[in-house]
Copies of this chain bind each other. A is one copy, B any other.
Amino acid sequence: MLTERQLRILQVIVDDFIQTAQPIGSRAISNKQDVAYSAATIRNDMAELEQFGLIEKTHTSSGRIPSEKGYRFYVDHLLTPFHLSRQDTSAIKQTFSTNIRQMEEVVQQSAALLSELTNYTSIILGPEMLETKLKHIQILTLSDFSAVMILVTDTGHVEHKSFRIPDGMDHAEMEKVVNILNDRLAGVPLMMVPGRLKSEVQELLKQHTVHFDTMFAYLRSFMETEQPLKLYFGGKTNILMQPDFQDLNKLRSLYTMIEEEGETIARLLKGEQNGLHVSIGTENKLSAMQDCSFVTASYTADGIHMGTVALLGPTRMEYSRVMSLMHVLTNKLTSAYQDWQK
């Protein structure tokens, strides 16, 4: 077992490394204000901490840095309750102070805020649409040849797609299509729209319209394209500015991940639905992330999961502050969402 002092030393090492990104030696620890032991004592303890795999040397004779296991231990047992600085709290308050008009905006601003406060990269998975229902469908003709179809959900989401009007289709027929669609699909949860389209709308359309074939093809392509997961990034560049990433290839693979693995990340976030969760280094499944820590926190409404906030930083992350921030932020998001829904 670890002694009280060893715990303290581990804490100092992690704290210091988080701040400086430099290995720290026994002497430097001993010189710290709130450490009263000699360098030799600390050396002994450090040897033991190393045996436990909690700290490492970068080479035979240089200071120690926390190992992955060390960070894990730190996060699990050594985190002191952190109270946010006045700046932090007021920044958050301000973001949520404006009247909420659009939930997407709030989510996006949260992402921006989080990345700005931490200098890491924030990723937010927007409100899930499992529960949202189709509110209204409309087709608007733009010219004799083209029209745009607009879908509105009860959460205020709007999706649209323009298309070419089948030759010879007239206004009355178009209207009929819209009426059928609204009649059969309004109020239906988005998830179930494609199903309903096939089971109910298909037949009706076939009976009542002349240009069934093309029209139905359009509808399918429009409604069956999977609802894109709404992923908001904040401070994409932040993480690459961290001194931890000096290696060109690491930098590149990290960048590639952020730019091109949106889908993967979204799926990852979708899996994290309960409370605060921290993945450190190789605990992450994505290889590009294995030098990073990834903190996720979900926000809810009426107890059901709505979305997930995440922060990507170096393993040398300010865990304490980050976790407090995210705790507060998700609470704010939760209540904002509730407010918005009234």
Contact = CB atoms under 8 A, between A and B. Distances in A.
Given A142-B156, A342-B145, A101 B164 contact: yes
A256 interface: yes
A240 interface: yes
A140 B160 contact: no
A320 interface: no
A161 B152 CA distance: 11
Task: Quickly give the copy total for this chain.
Answer: 2
A158 B160 contact: yes
Interface stretch (A6-14, A194-202, A246-254, A291-299): A246-254
A241 interface: yes
Given A102-B162, A158-B158, A237-B252, A150 B150 contact: yes
Contacts of A260: 237
Given A102-B162, A148-B158, A252 B241 contact: yes
Categorize the interface residue count of chain A.
Answer: 35 or more
A258 to B, nearest CB: 9
A279 B337 CA distance: 48
A179 interface: no
Given A248-B246, A255-B255, A155 B142 contact: yes
Interface of A: 99-103, 135-136, 138, 140, 142-146, 148, 150, 152, 154-156, 158, 160-164, 218, 236-237, 240-241, 246, 248, 251-252, 255-256, 259-260, 340-342
A101 B161 contact: yes
The binding surface of chain A is classed by DSSP as mixed
Contacts of A255: 237, 240, 255
A81 to B, nearest CB: 35
Nearest to A341: B143
Nearest to A221: B101
Contact of A259 (B156, B236, B248): B236
Contacts of A144: 342
Contacts of A138: 138
Nearest to A138: B138
Given A140-B136, A143-B342, A156-B142, A161 B256 contact: no
